Structures are given as structure tokens and as C-alpha cells.
A and B are shown apart, each in its own frame.
Chain A
Amino acid sequence: MIKRNNKIKKGALLMAAVVAAAGIATGCGNKDNGGAAPESQTTAQADASGKTETAAPDTAFSYPVAEGGTLSYWVELNANAAANYTSLNDTEFGKKLQENTGITIEFQHPAVGQVAEQFNLLLSNRTLPDIIEYSWMTYAGGPQKAIEDGVVLPLNDVIDSYCPNLKAYLAENPQVDKMIKTDDGTYYCFPFIRGGEKLKTSTGLMLRGDWLEELGMEVPTTMDEWHDVLTAFKEEKGAAAPFTYWYGSQGLTDNNPFAYAYGAPRNFYIGDDGSVHYGAVEDGYREYLQTMNRWMSEGLIDVDLATLTNDQVSAKITNGTAGASFGWCGSSLGTWTGAGRTTEEDFTLVPAPYPSVEKGTKPEFGQKDNDFVNMGCAVITTSCENVELAARLLDYAYGEEGHMLFNFGIEGVSYTMESGEPIYTDLILKNPDLSITHAMSGYIRANYNGPFVQDEAYADQYYTLDEQKEALAVWSDTNADKHIIPPVTPTVDESKEQAQIMNEINTYRDEMTLKFILGNKSFDEWDDYVETIKGMNLDRVLEIQNAALERYQER
């Protein structure tokens, strides 16, 4: 009996194996788009250079493009636009763009919030849309790899022949020129550029201006002054948690202003010696933690800091539990002021500069983006057949007419020229049915991103509160330019190694940071902390970063 069962079992398992293998085999033998890629990559590059070599740059070109044509364009539909439109084609902006350039665009939008997943699926298709707009620096291995994989078309000759606008802009702005090339000097995209200092800063400190007035105090500029102000908030205004912010936001805590004051951001930065440093192991960071620890034991910082949701932070600022915070110009300062004023007429939030240790010194660090931001970059793919057409379309944005369209919209409808300055109309700024961003999204792209140069005049008007306009000026007045790391590109293997190491280091750093601040770990153990991080191979990452930086300088 038992033996027979064994036979049956064996046979059954054999059957099972066969079925499974058959399934897997059919899967493997299945049309898999990978096979085509290596060949198409080389031929595409040959084609691209072949095509452009025969075309002579023509100066007699003007928009709209004479022969017209259609291009497929894959891009995320920004959430603000998605609120009211189902496609960029439906927006006035989209229509005007196609009208002015004479090119028909078939927009393809991934579902809102699904961009990364959809992007990967998109890549696995054999043919790609003509133009893809994405944050190409996040492509595994960087833009260089995207070219090698046969996805992106190298643009050096294309720009030379068909993109006079972009070419001129890059010539006038050499620091930007460096940012949008790969290490070996290849252009790969039509970038999103922040065209002014004020556009590069969006976060900073803010506190209750009405309270300061009442208490007869000035906006603090040094760490000591902050201590005094927060103490006054606590003792005289009854604020239970004088300073609080959304600690859980990576973007915010990477730019923690108090850490900046001591010259030690928690991440990488470029030191005065021109090489890459990791702030979290430096003495400045220890001083920052000690100050935080002290302030927390004095009740000046929210005890629940590390656990707050953004909603909870908003609640505390708007209902008076907290008097100072750190956040964004629009969604923090703007929104909170609006909400706070509904219950307290005098509710005002004023911006404070990034603090320093010594009075009167310009803050060395502050939040600042690079001119070239990793979003909204448009590339021409290797599947594009009419490269010239695509180039003309994308180059339009960098010319005078295109610049106005992308930033201000349609003259007479969304903006008017007053004494030579573009001013948004009431349709945008005072629309009864739509908020400002929603109204803007129908006409421009300046309020999110895209392949064009953002104009500062947009920010001046978008931020309607005086405090907001002041904030941009106050928060951007730092030497941060010297310290932010430019868009460097480690190699594929390097970035894998780096990500693995950094994930471990960051986990450890974040755990210990909180322990130090809360007082659960004594500062006697600081050296152990530094040793542990070094032992996790921090030096290897610094090596990688410095090497990438060197290659960047030589572009």
C-alpha cells in the first residue's frame, strides 16, 4: 500500500514539475521586449547621428512649424491640473502650445501618484512615446545609463542644429550647462530650470509675528535669540509646545535650520575645502543635538516631535499651542495664516532667517535647490521618428514666446503687461471658483515643473501675502550655494553600493539622533556613535561622492 502511494506521489510530482516547467517555459519564450533593445540601441545612435549630420542648422526657421506633425508625449498630469482636467490637451495652455508651435501633441498621462510604477512599465514596452518627461536622475544608473540602455537620444547635435533658444540660454548660463550634461559631456534632456534665486528656496522658519509684537521682541537671528523667544512664548503666551514642525518629512528634516546653524546638515554637503562631507558625524552636529536636548528638557520643543503628522503640526500652530515652526512658504505659511485668521484676526506668521551662532553673520547654510532640479526633464526617445519636430517643440519653451506661455499663459486672458511686467489677471488670482494653483494649472506650468525656465515674477505674484514675499527674500539670503552638492552622477554599481550603505547609516543616524535629543543616550557616547557610522563604511560613500564630484567639475 505504502509503496503504491509513493509511486503515485512521484508521478504526481513529476506531472507537477512538467506543468510548472511548461508554464515557465512559455513565459520565457514569450515575446519579451528585452531582446530587441541592444540592437536598436546601436542603430538608433547611428541613425540619430546620421540624421543630424546631414541637416544644416537653419536660421530661417520660425513657429508655427510649416509641415506640422504629431508627437506622443508622456508626462505626469500634475495633481493641481488633474483636479479639473483630464489631460493637458484640455487645458488652455495645452491648446495654445499646439497652436503656436503648429505641432499636434498626443499627451499620455500615467495615473496621478503612480508615476514611478508606470514609468517602469512604460520602459518595458518595445516602442516608447516620442517624448518622455520624468525625473531622469532617478533612472537606475543615471542618465548615462538611460542613453546606454537605448532609451534616451543623445542631444548634442540635435541642440546644435534645431535648438537655438536652448543653445543661447546655455551659453549665457554656463553653470546650468554643466548640470544638464552627463559626465562625458553628453546632453540628454530639456531641463527644468529655476530661473532666479527666490525660486530655489521654499522652506524656512516662521513664527507668530503678533506674539513678537506683544512681547516687544525682534525676529530672532541667532540661536541664543531663538532660545529667548521660545522661552517667552512658553512662559508668557502659554504655548505648551513653542517650537514644533513636521519632523517626519525627509525634505524638511534634511534642511533642519538649527542643524544648519552649527554648520552640520545631517546629510552630505560640500565643505569649505571643496570636498564632500557628511554632517551627521561632525562636531557641529553634536552641538546641534546638545542644544536640542537642552531646549527639549526646558520644554521649548514639542515632546511629541518625532511622532507628529502634518495635520497635527498644522493644528498646533493654528490653535496657539505652538508659536514657531519650520515649513513651506505656500502650504505652511500661507495655509496656516489663512486658517489661523478665521479665529484670530491678528494671527500673523513672520519668516525668520536661517539662524547663525554669531550675531550679524550671514547664515552659511540654508535650504536651496540647484538651478537644475530633478523633475520635469523632457527627453527625446530612441523611438522618435521625427527628431527635428520633437526638438523644435521642446526648444519653443526656451524662447521669448514660449517662456511667456509656460510662465504666464495667454496675454489678455491669464496675464497682461503692465509697465513691461507680466501681471496675472483676476481670472487667476481672484477666481471665485478656483484656488490660485488650480486656476494657474489651466494656463501655465510655472506652478509645478516642466521643460522650461521658471520665471521669478511668477513667485512674486503667486505668494499673495506680504509675509510670503518677504519669506522668499529672507530665506534665500544664505551662502548655501557654496555648499549644496550639484547634480552628480555615480555609476550604476556605485549607486547601488551607496544606497545600501546609506540606508544602514541613515537608519542608525536617525535612531541615535532622536535618542540624543530625547536624552535617552548621553553625549558621552558620541564618539561611539561616530565610530559606528564610520564602521558602516561611510568613507566608501564619501569616496564615491567625491569621485562623482570631480567628474562633474570636468564636464
Chain B
Amino acid sequence: MKRQAKSTIRTSAGSKIFDVCNVLILTLLSLVCIYPVWYVLAASLSESSLLMQHTGPLLKPVGFSFSAYKAVLKNPMILSGYLNTLKILILGLATNIVMTSLGAYFLSRKGVLWKKPIMILITITMFISGGMIPFYQTLQDFHLTDTHWGLILPFMISTYNMIILRTSFESIPESLCEAARIDGAGHWKILFSVILPLSKAMLAVMVLYYGVGIWNGWFWGSTILSDRSMYPLQVVLREILMANDTSSMTAGVAAGDVEAVGATIRYATIIVATLPILFVYPFLQKYFTKGVMVGAVKE
């Protein structure tokens, strides 16, 4: 089906002015938003002593040096960090999407007696939690400490994400599900052939949300893993940061005198940690284009 090009609809002068303004505003916003990223990149490539003396905005590296990257990348755990995170990502995302979809599907159906109480009980968990120690003891009880599964299973579902996915599932017209049911489809079939294909955009958001969560997560990794070779990337990077950074919040309160080896390392760490994320989003963007879905299905 040919999409009727919008340009054949008459564009008024007001419309044109709006377009120009829109582009201007968005360009301005982009410049403002790219500044912190640019700053970090430039700082990471700067020379340590010169960076220290620098005040004010940073538009290009002061001096030029790869020493910060050398210091970060020479750590042998970087490679294992990336691999571990990759493993957790693949296994984690799979379980996340499956479990969240099951839950969201259930919660989006009508005429289910126990749906409301279950929804309430689930929502409560977003607010009341037992805290760190009981959670840790639970992991110990299930023998999940010192394993990568310990970073996956207890975090299989984010209630927040599930609610968002549920909202999306709910907006799929009832008529489509009805049609499928008349054709004899059970719930599994409806989920897989009607709901999921129409939810590609929201599933892409789920992949992004969960993926970024796993990528950035370091706290539980550093808490439950005692074998350093199992550390995910962020834990490794955080250790490098602590070993080389004097301006952390607690530096003044604790031992006091710590050798400073340059803030450039802090910036290089951020780049090493964030670079892959840069490439993920363009990948997922194709799911956000208009009109891919409902129109296609109606055929």
C-alpha cells in the first residue's frame, strides 16, 4: 500500500514557518546536549597536567595524549568485563522480554477475575522492599551468589517496564484478538501472532530499557561476585576509577592522602563504558518509524 505522501497535502505558510523553527530548536537542543559528551571526549584525550589547569568550557583536548586510555585498557579485566557483560546481556534480555511479555499480556486481558488483586500486589513491590540484607540472604538461599544467574534471575522483571508494556498491549484493538479467537486461537497463539508482532516499537523500548539497565549495573555484581574474573564491565571500570580518582565524594573523609593520577582517567572510563551504547540506539530506531504496524496488519 502506497503511503500517501504528506507533501501532496497543501502546506500553508504557517506550516513552513513551524518546520523552520522546529529544525532550529532541535539543532540548538542537540548542540546543548552534545556538549557534555564532547567535553568528556576532549578531556579524555587531554594531557593530564594541562587538563588540571584548565577552567571553563572545553572545546578541544588540551595537549593531546592517549595515556588515559592506555591506563584504562591495560587492565586485563577489561576484556573479561566486556565478555561477562555481553553474556549477562544476552541471557538477561531473553529472560526479561519473555517474562515481562507474559506478565504484561496477562495484565492486559479483560474479564480476568484475579487480575486486579495480582496487579495491586505487584505494584506494591515497587514501593515496599525488604532491603539489601534480606535480598542478599534470599540469593544465598537459592545458591545464586557467585554466579551470573544471580544477576539475571532476581531481576527478570522490572515492574515499571511491565506496566509500560501492559499499556501498550492494551491499546491493541480488541477486535483483532476477537478475530483470532473466533479462528480458534488460544492465548499463546494470540500472544505470538497478534500482540507481539504489533508491539515491535514497545518491545524495542523494553530491549533498550532492560539493556541499558544491565549494561550500567554494577552494585549487585560487586556485591555477590567474589571471583574477579566474573566481574561485568562496569564493576571493573568502577574499580579502575576508584584506584585513580581523588575527587570522589568520600576522598576527604577517609584516609585523606591518596595519590592522584589524573582526572583524564575518569573521562576515558566513561567513554569506554558508553561507546557501545552509542551504537545501539540507531539500531533500534527503525522500530520507531510511523505506520509500520497497524496498517500492515490490516491487509
Contact = CB atoms under 8 A, between A and B. Distances in A.
Contact of B256 (A31, A328, A338): A328
Contact of B252 (A16, A250, A318, A436): A250
Interface stretch (B44-52, B187-195, B200-208): B44-52
B251 A249 contact: yes
A120 B133 CA distance: 8
A371 to B, nearest CB: 16
7 contacts: A16-B117, A27-B130, A86-B77, A121-B136, A319-B55, A338-B49, A438-B259
Interface stretch (B102-110, B177-185, B222-230, B279-287): B222-230
Nearest to A30: B141
A293 interface: no
Interface of B: 48-50, 52-55, 77, 113-114, 116-117, 120-121, 130, 132-134, 136-137, 141, 222-223, 226, 228, 235, 238-240, 242-244, 246-248, 251-261, 263
Interface in A293-323: 309-312, 314-316, 318-319, 321
A30 B253 contact: no
Contacts of A336: 52
A202 B256 contact: yes
Contact of B53 (A309, A339, A449): A339
A321 B52 CA distance: 13
A108 B225 CA distance: 11
A161 to B, nearest CB: 33
A111 interface: yes
Contacts of B228: 86-87
A310 B244 contact: no
Given A310-B246, A314-B52, A83 B240 contact: yes
Contacts, number: 139
A321 B239 contact: no
A449 B137 contact: no
Contact of A124 (B114, B137, B248, B255): B137
A336 B246 CA distance: 13
Given A124-B137, A202-B256, A331-B257, A12 B114 contact: yes
A365 to B, nearest CB: 17
Interface string A114-145: 10011011001000000000000000000000
Contacts of A311: 52, 247, 263
Contacts of A331: 246, 257-260
Which of B50, B130, B247 has the largest count of A CB atoms less than 10 A from its CB? Answer: B247
A417 interface: no
Task: Name the residue among A318, A328, A340 with the largest chain B CB count within 10 angstroms.
Answer: A328
B243 A80 contact: yes
A83 B258 CA distance: 13
B257 to A, nearest CB: 5
A252 B53 contact: no
B50 A435 contact: no
A340 B77 CA distance: 33
Contacts of A252: 252
A512 interface: no
B52 A112 contact: no
A285 B55 CA distance: 33
B160 to A, nearest CB: 21
Interface string A516-554: 000000000000000000000000000000000000000
A338 B52 CA distance: 11
A108 B226 contact: yes
Nearest to A341: B49
B252 A112 contact: no
A393 B226 CA distance: 24
A111 B258 contact: no
A406 to B, nearest CB: 16
Nearest to A321: B55
A111 B222 contact: yes
Contacts of B252: 246, 248-252
A339 B132 contact: no
A438 B262 CA distance: 14
Given A15-B114, A314-B53, 20 more contacts: A16-B121, A27-B134, A30-B141, A79-B243, A87-B228, A111-B223, A111-B238, A114-B222, A120-B132, A121-B133, A124-B136, A246-B252, A252-B252, A311-B52, A315-B54, A330-B257, A331-B260, A334-B259, A338-B49, A375-B254
A118 B134 CA distance: 14
Interface string A331-351: 100111011101100000000
Contacts of B238: 111-113
Contacts of A338: 49
B259 A20 contact: no
A20 B130 CA distance: 13
A339 B113 contact: no
Contacts of A342: 49-50
